[in-house]
Chains A and B, each alone.
Chain A
Amino acid sequence: MLGYICGRIFALMLILLAVSIIVFSLMHSVPGGPFDERKGRLPPAAKANILKKYGLDQPVWKQYINYMSHAVRFDFGIPYQRPHTTVAKLISKSWAITVQVGLTTIVVAFGFGILAGIYAAYHQNSWVDTLVTFVSSLGVTVPNFVVAMWLILIFAVSLNWLPMGGWGSSGQCLVDKYFCTDWILPVIAYAIAPMAIVARYTRASIVEVMGEDYVRTARAKGLSEIKVMRKHVLRNAQIPMVTALGTEIPNLITGSIFIESTFRINGLGKYFVTSTLNRDYPMIMATFLLVAFLWGILYLLTDIAYTMIDPRVRLGAKSLS
């Protein structure tokens, strides 16, 4: 087990190295740089000075080594778009917001998704089941910025109940600057797709488990319905749910680009877009490394969670496919 985890972490390190090399060489292979003059020309000496200050006068491989030796100490340099702060500070500030968006969404999506899935599985072919199936096929296919736009049109424009955008700036909050009215629309818009996936997974796995012999045995020996559900059905239905959780959480924590853009939230996704538009190398590199790192770690954690839920799963064994 420990050896397996070490192996996975080593593989993750190699992938991070590869990602960093690819991104670094891509960013440097294009003509043009952040200090190319469009309007007035700088005196050559001044330009040489700026390039020297940012280390851009050295060969690419040297820039890369220089960068990576700082990056392992969490020093990602200075973002070109905001020279008065550091990349690490800007990312931690904006990522805090993205994590707030993501975590709230996860709680909402998984809470309601699992409840809806359980209810639909226990009341198959009822109108709730039909509704859950319908909403989930809609939620999986329709992009979240489209849903976001519809929510804005209904609840912000025509009903005027909720603010159109922002994050923690509406002034009506539950706790200080958290859980404000302007959290509601982004979280719903963002939660619908994962909620749909979770509900589908939960429903399918519960329906499957309920058909098993051991559930019938449990019922036959006179266990109460609640106990059957808690001890036998849900426990075995957890595995597919964890799969859904494992694939959705990395998406949710990192990828709210569209939601942030629609609701004007200053999170990581928004800075990622502005930094690609401005060719802000340090920001892009740091964001990419962070995202790749998080993805790897979260997938590893999911695999470890499997073994805790289901003792039959052995990690590191050769899989068939």
Chain B
Amino acid sequence: MGFILFLALFADLLSPFAYDRVYFDRVLLMPFEHPEHPLGTDEVGRDYLSRLIYGARTSMMVSLSVQMIALMIGLPIGALAGYFGGAFDFVISRIIDIMTAFPALLFTILIISVLGGGMPTIIVALSITSWIVIARITRAQILTLREQEYCTAARGLGASEWRILFRHLLPNAMSPILIAVSFGIPTAIFAEAGLSFLGLGVNDPIASWGKMVGASNAYVRVYWHLALLPTLAIALTMLGFSFLGDGLRDALDPKQKIRV
């Protein structure tokens, strides 16, 4: 997993070729067929190794920024709704109800169909659906913590509402939220790969594992490497990040079981 992040960060230095460099005379090479392309080339003659490395960058960029945005929106909204309750909480809860009334994937596809494809749109669309998860968990956490004795004690000592919320409640609510974020990363990786796979994701010529799998569908009978390599990349990355989530859960919160 660290390896994937490393690939994503240093994609420019590591790749033997640019991800969009096309060799018209080297189309659909098998791995090791040409000394300069250890993993072969794709259907328009781009080096497959380079595209896999740049695919890591796309995947990481989308998933990490989606989770960051989700955290930045979901955390304050969930905290305020949980702590102050009232009309704001009512509105937020109804929004959450509506958004969970149908599959998040369909909603993401709808937003993309409205805004058009491309990397920024995907990040926006996925953030719109994933802040809900963070907001829901934050709200539930704050709701239970609000009634604890130390909160009453702090109030008795004359702490302001904001101080209680930020100094006492949020730090205690943090670990389930962090776990939710870490499980949200593989979800976002899956969503990006899946959307690109359907042809609704990032635009050409940006490399994306999902898009590579989708494109390979037509060539899979002969050029098996086109399908195998990106699917392996997706599977390994997602396994890595969910192990990270499991580890984080065991470390931070042995009793809690969060299902995202």
Contact of A149 among B112, B113, B194, B231 (CB under 8 A): B231
Interface string of B8-32 (1 = CB under 8 A from A): 0000000000000000000000000
Contact yes or no, A272 B109, CB < 8 A: yes
Query: Does chain B have a CB within 8 A of A29?
Result: yes
Contact yes or no, A152 B198, CB < 8 A: no
Q: How far is the CA of A123 from the CA of B154 in the complex (A)?
A: 51
Contact yes or no, B114 A27, CB < 8 A: yes
User: Which A residues lie within 8 Å of B115 (CB)?
Assistant: 30
Query: Does chain A have a CB within 8 A of B64?
Result: no
Contact of B200 among A27, A143, A273 (CB under 8 A): A273
Contact yes or no, A284 B110, CB < 8 A: yes
Contact yes or no, B143 A321, CB < 8 A: yes
Contact yes or no, A276 B112, CB < 8 A: yes
Instruction: Knowing A143-B190, A143-B238, A145-B197 are in contact, say whether A30-B105 is a contact too (CB < 8 A).
Output: no
Contact yes or no, A262 B224, CB < 8 A: no
- Tell me which of B33-41, B44-52, B94-102, B170-178 binds A: B94-102
Chain B residue at minimal CB-CB distance from A197: B259
Query: Does chain A have a CB within 8 A of B255?
Result: no
Q: How far is the CA of A172 from the CA of B48 in the complex (A)?
A: 38
Contact yes or no, B113 A277, CB < 8 A: yes
Question: Interface residue count for B (Cβ, 8 Å)?
Answer: 41
Chain A residue at minimal CB-CB distance from B209: A146
Contact yes or no, B227 A149, CB < 8 A: yes
Give the bracket for the number of chain A residues in contact with chain B: 35 or more
Instruction: Knowing A157-B224, A261-B198, A273-B198 are in contact, say whether A288-B103 is a contact too (CB < 8 A).
Output: no
Query: Does chain A have a CB within 8 A of B68?
Result: no
Q: How far is the CA of A22 from the CA of B216 in the complex (A)?
A: 36
Tell me the A241-261 residues at the B interface (CB within 8 Å): 250-251, 254-255, 257-258, 261
User: Which A residues lie within 8 Å of B114 (CB)?
Assistant: 26-27, 29-30
Contact yes or no, A291 B102, CB < 8 A: yes
Q: How far is the CA of A145 from the CA of B186 in the complex (A)?
A: 15
Instruction: Knowing A29-B114, A141-B239, A277-B113 are in contact, say whether A153-B220 is a contact too (CB < 8 A).
Output: yes
Contact yes or no, A276 B113, CB < 8 A: yes
Contact of B98 among A15, A141, A284 (CB under 8 A): A15
Extra contacts, 17 of them, besides A158-B224, A276-B110 (Cβ < 8 A), are A15-B97, A19-B98, A23-B110, A26-B110, A141-B242, A145-B197, A149-B213, A150-B231, A152-B220, A153-B227, A164-B220, A255-B103, A255-B106, A258-B198, A273-B109, A292-B102, A296-B101
Which A residues form the contact surface with B (CB < 8 A)? 15, 18-19, 22-23, 26-27, 29-30, 137-138, 140-143, 145-146, 149-150, 152-153, 157-158, 164, 250-251, 254-255, 257-258, 261-262, 272-273, 276-277, 279, 284, 287-288, 291-292, 295-296, 321
